């Protein structure tokens, strides 16, 4: 799994993953992350989400919702992000830097 997807899932792991329903702020953040990574050409798959969730013991309903968003965005479908401001510029910078590092030529 690319480092940028690992980092994205780290952000989601920091949420209340024991809740059955993600908080609206967390929902907006997760959707923002998935949408941004798709725009960068590194979409997160539902399998990526599920693998991390199983590894870390996330709530099954939380996992199902988050994996569903990842699948929907990866497939090119639209999602409503109610509070886009929760996906911070700091997160965007961190993710973009990882994508650039992975695609830069090595010497």
Contacts 24+ apart (CB under 8 A), 99-106: 99/4, 99/37, 99/40, 99/41, 99/42, 101/3, 102/2, 102/3, 102/4
Q: Model confidence over 82-93: pLDDT tens digits?
A: 998 899 999 999
Helix (H) or strand (E) holding 63: helix 60-74
pTM greater than 0.85 (yes/no): yes
Domain residues of the chain, as ranges? 3-102
The segments of the chain whose pLDDT lies below 70 read: 105-107
Fold of 3-102: AhpD-like (1.20.1290)
Closest to 79 measured CA to CA, from 91, 89, 71, 90: 71
């Amino acid at each position: 799994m690319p480092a940028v997807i690992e980092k994205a899932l780290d952000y989601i792991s920091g949420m209340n993953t024991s809740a059955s329903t993600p908080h609206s702020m967390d929902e907006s953040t997760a959707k923002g992350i998935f949408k941004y990574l798709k725009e960068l050409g590194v979409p997160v798959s539902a399998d990526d989400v599920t693998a991390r969730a199983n590894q870390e013991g996330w709530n099954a309903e939380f996992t199902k919702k988050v994996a569903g968003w990842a699948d929907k965005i990866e497939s090119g479908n639209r999602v409503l992000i109610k509070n886009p401001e929760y996906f911070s510029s700091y997160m965007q910078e961190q993710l973009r830097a990882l994508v650039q590092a992975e695609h830069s030529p090595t010497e």
